[in-house]
Structure formats: structure tokens, C-alpha cells
Amino acid sequence: MEAEKAIIAIGREYGSGGHDIGKLVADKLGVPFYDKEILTLAARESGICEALFENHDEKNTPSYLFPLVTGMGDLPSAAGAGDIPLNHRIFMAQFEAITRVSLKGPCVIVGRCANYVLKGQPNLISVFLYGDVSARIERIMQKENLPYDQAKERVRKVDKQRQGYYNFFADGNWGHRSNYHMMLNTTGLALDAAADTIIQYIRAKTIK
């Protein structure tokens, strides 16, 4: 497969380097990159304040919304959602934003259930990045200038939020191999090497 024609959805454990690796992949392929940019696009199109997207970003939703989510395919768009609870309107707005950017052409999208949103697209490559907990804690200590205990708790908390968000809104099994074309342990890998590994995989992949 021509990597330059792929839509690449990257899921990631916190501290595995998902944002940086995704950006490198996009830069190497010369395609657009979306991470928190999805929040900006979703806010612009839905009319919902962007700060609310930030506050709810990849966080779990209360269980009382489950009946709404299971019928998501029949729900109106985020812009016309009416009385639908805010968390669900935010998810729908992101769903629509991810769909729109994918229709524009090849790109890299990090997080936000993108592999679920775009499931069935013939040029979709779904990747999940993970790593040893100790290595991820160390990365967060360095990147966010946090002491060990705070970094450890942040890794635990953010992973739990992402898992809850994905398992609620998507088809469950966040980080399970059945949901991804490729899973890559980034522990001990330079960011550039990890990006090259993803690109090499895509070029070797034939999607039928």
C-alpha cells in the first residue's frame, strides 16, 4: 500500500509517544496531522465552546448515556442534537470532524476513537502504541517536568480515562489487538525509528 495514500489512526497509551510519533509520520509522508486539532474543528462546526471539548477530551461518559450511544447511528448531528446530553454531543461533533477530515484525503489522526469512526474505510491503517509502564512514566516526568509519583499517577489516570472513553463510545477493547492493524511497543525506540517502522509496515501492507 502507498503510505502517502493511507488514513492512519493512532491509538496510544499515555507516555508512549503517540503525539510526537504521529506528527513525525505525517511530516515524513507530507500529509495533514490531527490531534487536538480535531477539537478545534469540532468546536467550530458544532458551535460548542472549544473549552468544553478540552474538558471532556477522551474522558469517560456516565453510564446513564448508554442507551443514547447504542443508538448513535440514528441520532441527529451534533449541531442539531437538541436535548442530547453534552458529553454525547461532544462525541458526535468529534465523530463528524474526523469523518470530514478523512474525506479530504490521507492524514494522520491521533486518538478520539478514530479507528472506530473510520472503520470500514479501505485505506485505513489503525495503529496502537504502547510501552512499558516504567518507560512511559519516565517520558512523562521529562516531558511535563513532574516528580515520579505525580507522573506515575498521571499515567494511570489518563490511561484509565482513555480506556473508559474508547470502551464506552467505540466497540470496547481499547488496546486489544483485534481492533488494530499494527501494535508497536515504543519502549527503547527512538521517535524517528518508531515513525519509520509504522511507515514501513504500511508500505508492506495489502488491504483487501
- pLDDT at 106 > cutoff 80: yes
Which range has the worst mean pLDDT, 14-18, 70-74, 102-106, 171-175? 70-74
- Tell me what the mean pLDDT of segment 164-189 comes to: 93
Q: Distance of CA 13 to CAs 70, 72, 161, 205, Å?
A: 25, 26, 11, 24
**Ordered DSSP codes for 145-161:** T--HHHHHHHHHHHHHH
- pLDDT higher for 110 or 208? 110
The position carrying cell 474505510 is 121
- Tell me what the mean pLDDT of segment 19-43 comes to: 97
- Tell me what the mean pLDDT of segment 83-90 comes to: 80
- pLDDT higher for 5 or 82? 5
For residue 207, the model assigns a pLDDT of 56
Cα 204 to Cα 207: distance, rounded to the nearest angstrom:
10
- pLDDT at 73 > cutoff 70: no
Place 159 in a pLDDT band, splitting at 50, 70 and 90.
very high
∠53-109-177 over CA atoms, to 5°? 110
Q: Which domains does the chain have, with CATH numbers?
A: 3-204 (3.40.50.300)
Across the chain, mean pLDDT equals: 89
First to last CA, the chain: 11
Place 171 in a pLDDT band, splitting at 50, 70 and 90.
confident
The residues facing 128 across adjacent strands are 11, 183
For residue 27, the model assigns a pLDDT of 98
